[in-house]
């Protein structure tokens, strides 16, 4: 055999060996198992001052898998490891992950649970967006309060948000919702004896007179006319009894689990109640969907005129008008049983928030409570790691 032939054979052998090793390594990599992480959701909400633990399950966990709890830094644009865990050596292993309170002092945080690659399994990750509620406690007099972010579909501040309470004229948010959705805004309604006799009605309703439904919507939302709410119910459903059935059906459809209506206006009555969370949910629904609603609650006043020529200027009961350009309007409610209530809309850094308070101790406290929660939005709502 010539020297050239021997050299060629050696080169061929080396190449074949390298090809074998490359093929083997690919096969080995292909045989690695997929790693499965369960027990943690994509979205988590928790009070910032409460301990937050999540028990995750890792499969496979053979060989004691390394698990990293990481928090995304918007400043550095990368995940940073907060804590390292080692799993048990088993096919399936549970690990209890603790999210440190010190890293939950901002409203938004993107967390990653990262399981490193092992000799038998691939790496895997699970990402959760965590919302921290009540970064600080606000000194508010109301019985219940909620700050709800329409864009994120979650609340960021709570005080007894699911407590069933009287809500006074915030009831009219549902009455307005059903009128707007009925597609009868361009129609008109004749005032019945029942509507005319309903107390606390402004403008004064006269039996037999008529108003456009859009005018009645203004009367409900600005000076909070109870008679207008009765007239609207009769126009949409034929009777207040049938309309109230529709109110409760709509509440159920929206997921308002702590709400029950017995009238259209919110005057104190047995078995008539809602919660701060449910009311915020209702406001977020109609505010998002109806330009007409958004336009009306932003007004300071409105000149109403009946078919018989009765004319009057209606003024909004919203005393936050002029407080801030971020305040986009709202609805007040006041009765002996409900106390002083308000549900307002506030826009901060391109996100829209609904703030609902129920049962403030006085009219002054109502507006102080609202301003305090608006300040909370300014200070904490947009904060993120």
- The CA distance from 260 to 262, in Å, is 7
108, 132, 169, 235: which one is catalytic?
169
What DSSP line would sit under 159-208, residue for residue? ESTT--B--GGGGHHHHHHHHHHTT-TTSEEEPPHHHHH-SS-SSPP-TT
48, 87, 224, 225: which one is catalytic?
224
CB 67 within 8 A of CB 115: yes
- The CA distance from 159 to 358, in Å, is 10
- Coil, strand or helix at 366: helix
Is the backbone of residue 77 left (phi > 0), alpha (psi -120 to 50) or beta? Answer: left
Q: What angle do CA 44, 353, 280 make, to 5 degrees?
A: 80
Q: What are the respective helix, strand and coil percentages of the chain, to the nearest 5?
A: 35, 30, 35
The two most distant CA atoms of the chain are separated, in Å, by 121
CB 340 within 8 A of CB 362: yes
* 74 belongs to the catalytic site: no
172, 214, 250, 331: which one is catalytic?
172
* 169 belongs to the catalytic site: yes
| Per-residue DSSP letter, 263 | S
- The CA distance from 217 to 167, in Å, is 19
* 301 belongs to the catalytic site: no
The CB density around residue 151, as the number of other CB atoms within 10 Å, is 11
Q: Could you give the residue numbers annotated as active site? A: 169, 172, 224
């Amino acid at each position: 055999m010539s020297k050239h032939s021997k050299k060629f054979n050696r080169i061929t052998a080396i190449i074949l060996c390298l090809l074998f090793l490359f093929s083997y390594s690919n096969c080995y990599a292909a045989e690695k198992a997929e790693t499965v992480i369960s027990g943690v959701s994509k979205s988590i909400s928790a009070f910032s001052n409460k301990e937050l633990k999540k028990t995750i399950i890792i499969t496979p966990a053979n060989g004691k898998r390394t698990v990293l709890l990481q928090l995304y830094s918007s400043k550095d644009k990368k995940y940073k490891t907060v804590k390292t865990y080692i799993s048990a050596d088993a096919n399936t292993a549970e690990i209890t992950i603790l999210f440190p309170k010190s890293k939950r002092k901002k409203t938004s945080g993107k967390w990653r649970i990262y399981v490193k690659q092992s000799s038998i399994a691939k790496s895997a990750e699970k990402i959760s967006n965590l919302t921290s509620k009540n970064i600080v406690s606000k000194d508010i007099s109301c019985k219940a309060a909620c700050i709800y972010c329409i864009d994120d579909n979650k609340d960021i501040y709570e005080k007894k948000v699911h407590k069933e309470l009287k809500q006074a004229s915030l009831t009219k948010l549902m009455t307005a919702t059903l009128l707007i959705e009925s597609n009868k805004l361009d129609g008109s309604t004749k005032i019945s004896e029942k509507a005319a006799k309903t107390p606390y009605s402004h403008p004064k309703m006269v039996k037999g007179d008529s108003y456009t439904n859009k005018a009645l919507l203004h009367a409900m939302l600005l000076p909070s006319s109870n008679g207008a709410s009765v007239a609207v119910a009769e126009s949409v459903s034929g009777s207040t009894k049938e309309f109230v059935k529709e109110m409760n059906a709509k509440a159920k459809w929206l997921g308002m689990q702590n709400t029950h209506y017995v009238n259209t206006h919110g005057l104190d009555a047995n078995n008539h109640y809602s919660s701060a969370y449910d009311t915020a949910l209702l406001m977020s629904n109609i505010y998002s969907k109806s330009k007409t609603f958004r336009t009306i609650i932003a007004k300071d006043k409105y000149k109403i005129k009946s078919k018989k020529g009765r004319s009057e200027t209606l003024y909004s009961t919203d005393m936050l008008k002029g407080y801030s350009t971020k305040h986009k309007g709202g609805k007040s409610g006041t009765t002996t049983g409900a106390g002083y209530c308000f549900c307002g809309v506030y826009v901060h850094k391109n996100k829209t928030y609904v703030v609902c308070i129920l049962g403030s101790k006085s009219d002054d406290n109502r507006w102080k409570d609202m301003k305090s929660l608006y300040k909370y939005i300014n200070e904490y709502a947009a904060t993120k790691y």
